[in-house]
Structure 1
C-alpha cells in the first residue's frame, strides 16, 4: 500500500527545469526527483486554465466529460476522483495549498484540507489568508495583481514591469513557504499501517511574479537567455492577443528578462520547499515506498510569440506541463519518456500504483506501463474569444477556435509554431487525419454546461462576516500601500 505525494505548481512552463535543459533556472531538488523517476518530455494539460485542469487531474476525465469549464465551477456529484477512490480503499487523504474549488472547501475526497487560495471567494475563506489577517498582514502585491477592484488602482510601475517585483510579505508569510510548512506537518504525521495521500498545490510561479526578499535578487536579469520562441514583436497571426491580462506590445527583451528573473526566483523557492518535503520523507524512511508526482495545471508563454501568461492560442509553452513521476521501489529510475501523455493519465496511474480500481473506465493511460502514451493528445478551452481546442501528435498540431478558425503546424519543421500550413496542399492528408482524430475524440461525449453548486458538500466554516472583515482589512492595506508609495 504505497503512500502518494502529489505536488502541483501553477503556471509552470515545462522547460523551466534544469533537468529539462533550461540554461539558467536552478531546480536542484526537482532535478534530483527526476533522476529517481521518470521525466515525461511531452506532457500536456487538457485545458490551460486552473480549475478545469485541476478537475481533470482529480477525475481522470477530459473537461467535456466533467463539465468544469471555468475557474468558478463545481465538480458535479457522481464524478469520482482518485482521492475518493483512495479514501474508500482505506487511505488517509489530505490537501494543502491552492485547490481553486467552488465552494472553496468542496469535498472531492480529502479528509483534511488546509488551503491557500489566490483568486475569487477562496481568498476570503481559506486558512492562509485567515492567518495573514490574524497577524495583521495583507498580500498587497498579490491583491493588486489578482483582484479587479485593486488592479484598477494599480500604480504605473505595476504595468511597466508586468507585475514583477518583490512581494510585500516576508518570506515566512509568503504563500510558498506557508504551503511548504503545512505540507511538512502533514508528512510528519504519516504513520505505518495505512496508506497516506497528500496533494500539495503551490500558487507559484503563477503571476504576480513576486518572490519575497531573500529570493527576489537570486537571478540577474541581464544574464538570462530568452527561451525558444521569443520574438521581438507579436507575430501578425497573434495580433488579436496583444491586449490580454497585460498589453503585450510594450514587452521588450530587458522587461522580459526582469519577468524571467522573478519567475525563476519563485520556481527556485518552490524547488527549495520540494526539497524539504523529500528530505523529510527520506529521514522518516518513507521515500522509497512513496509514489511522488510533480506537475502543473498549465504552462506559461514567458515571451513565446512576444506573449506573457496564458491567454491566447494553445501553443506548446502554455499547454505543455512538467511531469515527473517517482515510482515506489526505485522502478524506472532516471528514465526520460518521449511519449505523448496528459494530466488525465495521472488518476489512472495513481490508482494502478495503489492497486485500486476506478469506479468507471477512464480515458487516460496507466503510466506504470513504460509503453503507455497517446497517438494524439487533446486540449480545449472556453474563453472570452470563444470555444476552441487543440489536437497534437508527435509531429503535427491542429488548433481551432470559434472566432479565429483553424491553424495547422508541422512541429518537426516549425517547433515554434510560426508558420500556419492550413492552406498548404502538401499537408492536406495530414490535416484530414487530424480533423478525423478530433471527430473521433469528441464523438461520444456531449458537452455539458458549466456546473456550479455553491451549496455542494464541503468542509468550510467561514461566515459572511468573516469574509467582509477580511476584505476590509485587505482593502485598507492596499490603500495604505498606495499612499506610502
Structure 2
C-alpha cells in the first residue's frame, strides 16, 4: 500500500469560520470530521498575510526573507527548492490541482538556458508541482492573469457560450432584465451567481482532484488541491447565496479607540479603498453572507471528496492536510482584505490527519502549539520517510505532536509583510527598502516591528480581540524590548547556506582535511604532520 498526501488549501479562509474552530452558526460537518480524525492546530500562523509570499513559504518551507518572493507576482527565484523537489527523489508524484499564485523567474530561467516548456522548466515555472490543472482564478477581462482554458471548455460543454465564463458566469449574477451584474461589486454579493452549483469553481476543481486520484494508480503521490474560494469576488451560486443572514454573522471586532490615534502604518491601511468599503455595514453584511456561503459550499465538496477517497480505498494510506493561505478582515479592525497581523488576517485553520496507528493517541485533539505555515513541507517530507534537511527547510515536522511525543516545537512565531507595492507606502512617504513589517508572537504578546516607526504591541491574554495597541506605552517598554531581542536573534539565523548541512560542517576537521589534500599550513615538520594524522585516525576522523 503506497503512502499519499492530499494537501488541501483554501484561499482567504479565516481560522474562525469553521464550526470546529468555534463559529456558532456556520456548520462545517465535513471539515469537522477531518478534525475528529486527526488533530486541529489551533494557533497556526502564515509567514506573510497575503497570497503569493504565504504560498511560497508553504511550498518552500522557508521564511519570506529567505525565499525572497515578498509580494504577489514577485518571482520565486530559480534554485529555491520546493516541496516537489524534496519529494520526487523519494519517488513521489507531486501534482497541483488549483491555485499557487506562483510567478516564474523568467529572467533567471533565460540566464540558465531553461526552456519554459521543458520538463525542468515546467516544474521550475510551476513552483515544483506537476501542473495537473493550474487555475489561479482571477480571470477578469483584460486582466494580467492567464485564463484557464480547461475551465472555459468545461463551461462550454455545460452550455455557456460566454467568452469569459469565469468572469461573466461563475462570478457574476443576472437581473430580471438579463443584465450581467459583476461579482466584483460588493453590492451584488447577496445575489446568486449565474453558474449552477455544479458549474462553479469549487465543485469543478474538486472533480479534477478526483480525476487525478482516479488516474494516479498505486505509485505514491502528493496532490496539492488548492481551492480559489472563499477569496473574492464574493459571490456564490444558489442555494448558498442566501443561507446566512445578519443574525448568523460573528460580532464585529473593532472599536473607536482603534481609529483615534492609530499607528501610522495601521492608519494608512484603514484609508485603503477596500477598508473604507467595509465600513459600509450594508455592503459588509452582503459580503459576509456570500463568504459564509462559499465556505459552506467548500465544506459540502470536502464531504464529497472524503466519500470518494473511501470508495477508492485511499483513506487508510492518505495523509490529509487542510489549511488556508491567510484570513480576511471582513471589516474587523476597520480593515478589508488581509495584509496586517491581527488574527482575522494572519491566523489560519490547520488540520492534519495521519492515518497511521502512530497518531491514534491524538485523534480528535486540539493542539495549542505555536505552528507556522513553513511546518507543512517538512511534515509531508517526514511522512514520506525523507531525511530532515534543516539547512533548507526552516520549519519543523509536526509528526512528533501528532504522535504525542512532543507538545510544542518553538517558543515564538514570525510573520513578515512587504507593503512596498501598496499605496500605503506612498501615503506614508516610505522608501521601498523600508516598507517592511515583521511580527513576532510568543503566544501572549504580539509585537510588530515597523521600519522607521514605533512598534505595535498587543497583549492577547488581556486583550484577545487585539483592540488596544500598547506599542507606544512606556509601561510596556520592557515587553517590547524583550520581543525586539527575539526578533534580532531570529534575523541573525543562517538562512542562505542551503548547499551544505550544518551537520556536515560540524563533523569536518578542517586542518586534517587540508593536510590529507596536501595543503600543509602550520606544520613545522613531517613529524608533526604524521602525529596529527595518526591522532585523527584514532579519533575516527
Asked whether the two chains share a fold, i.e. TM above 0.5, the reply is yes
Q: Give the CA deviation at 1:307.
A: 2.1
Q: Is the 8 A contact 2:458 2:466 kept in 1?
A: yes
Asked if 1:374 corresponds to 2:401, the answer is: no
Q: How does 1:65-464 map to 2 (within 5 A)?
A: 65-103=66-104, 106-119=125-138, 121-124=144-147, 127-129=150-152, 131-132=154-155, 135-137=160-162, 138-140=165-167, 159=185, 161=187, 165-192=191-218, 194-219=219-244, 221-227=245-251, 229-231=253-255, 235-236=259-260, 237=262, 238-248=266-276, 251-311=279-339, 313-329=340-356, 331=359, 332-358=362-388, 361=391, 362-370=393-401, 371=406, 372-383=408-419, 384=422, 385=425, 386-402=435-451, 404-444=453-493
Separation (CA, whole Å) in 1 of partners of 2:414 and 2:50: 14
Distance 1:234 1:203, change over 3 A: farther
Q: Give the CA deviation at 1:93.
A: 2.2
Separation (CA, whole Å) in 1 of partners of 2:182 and 2:161: 27
Show CA shifts across 1:379-421 (max 9, x none): 1111223221211111101113236541111110111222122
Q: Is the 8 A contact 2:45 2:371 kept in 1?
A: yes
Show CA shifts across 1:33-76 (max 9, x none): 00000101100000111111111111100011111112113322
SS at match of 1:257: helix
Structure number with the bigger relative contact order (C-alpha 8 A, sep ≥ 6) is 1
Which runs of 5 or more residues in structure 1 are unaligned? 146-153, 448-485
Instruction: Tell me the TM-score normalised to structure 1 length.
Output: 0.83
Q: Is the 8 A contact 1:377 1:392 kept in 2?
A: yes
Q: Is the 8 A contact 1:141 1:210 kept in 2?
A: no
SS at match of 1:139: helix
- After the TM superposition, which of the residue ranges 395-404 and 276-285 deviates more from structure 2? 395-404
Separation (CA, whole Å) in 2 of partners of 1:279 and 1:4: 16
Q: How does 1:460-479 map to 2 (within 5 A)?
A: none
Q: Is the 8 A contact 1:188 1:280 kept in 2?
A: no
Separation (CA, whole Å) in 1 of partners of 2:150 and 2:181: 29
Q: Is the 8 A contact 2:278 2:284 kept in 1?
A: no
Q: Give the CA deviation at 1:289.
A: 2.0
Q: Give the CA deviation at 1:280.
A: 1.1
Separation (CA, whole Å) in 2 of partners of 1:94 and 1:160: 34
Separation (CA, whole Å) in 2 of partners of 1:398 and 1:170: 45
**Larger Cα Rg: Structure 1 or Structure 2?**
2
Distance 1:56 1:142, change over 3 A: farther
SS at match of 1:168: coil
- Aligned residue pairs total 437
Separation (CA, whole Å) in 2 of partners of 1:186 and 1:143: 23
Q: Is the 8 A contact 1:227 1:303 kept in 2?
A: no
- After the TM superposition, which of the residue ranges 230-239 and 346-355 deviates more from structure 2? 230-239
Separation (CA, whole Å) in 2 of partners of 1:272 and 1:412: 35
Q: Give the CA deviation at 1:141.
A: 5.7
SS at match of 1:5: strand
Distance 1:158 1:299, change over 3 A: closer
Distance 1:444 1:113, change over 3 A: same
Show CA shifts across 1:145-199 (max 9, x none): 9xxxxxxxx989965638564323332321111111101111222332x211111
Separation (CA, whole Å) in 2 of partners of 1:101 and 1:78: 14
Separation (CA, whole Å) in 2 of partners of 1:266 and 1:379: 27
Distance 1:258 1:125, change over 3 A: closer
Q: Is the 8 A contact 1:396 1:410 kept in 2?
A: yes
Show CA shifts across 1:77-102 (max 9, x none): 22212222212211122210111122
Q: Give the CA deviation at 1:288.
A: 2.0
Q: Give the CA deviation at 1:353.
A: 1.0
Q: Give the CA deviation at 1:114.
A: 0.4
Show CA shifts across 1:282-338 (max 9, x none): 122211221100001111112311322214x31111000110000122512101000
Q: Is the 8 A contact 2:19 2:32 kept in 1?
A: yes
Separation (CA, whole Å) in 1 of partners of 2:203 and 2:376: 26
Q: Give the CA deviation at 1:376.
A: 0.8
Instruction: Tell me the TM-score normalised to structure 2 length.
Output: 0.75
Greater per-residue helix proportion = 2
Separation (CA, whole Å) in 2 of partners of 1:289 and 1:2: 5
Separation (CA, whole Å) in 2 of partners of 1:415 and 1:273: 33
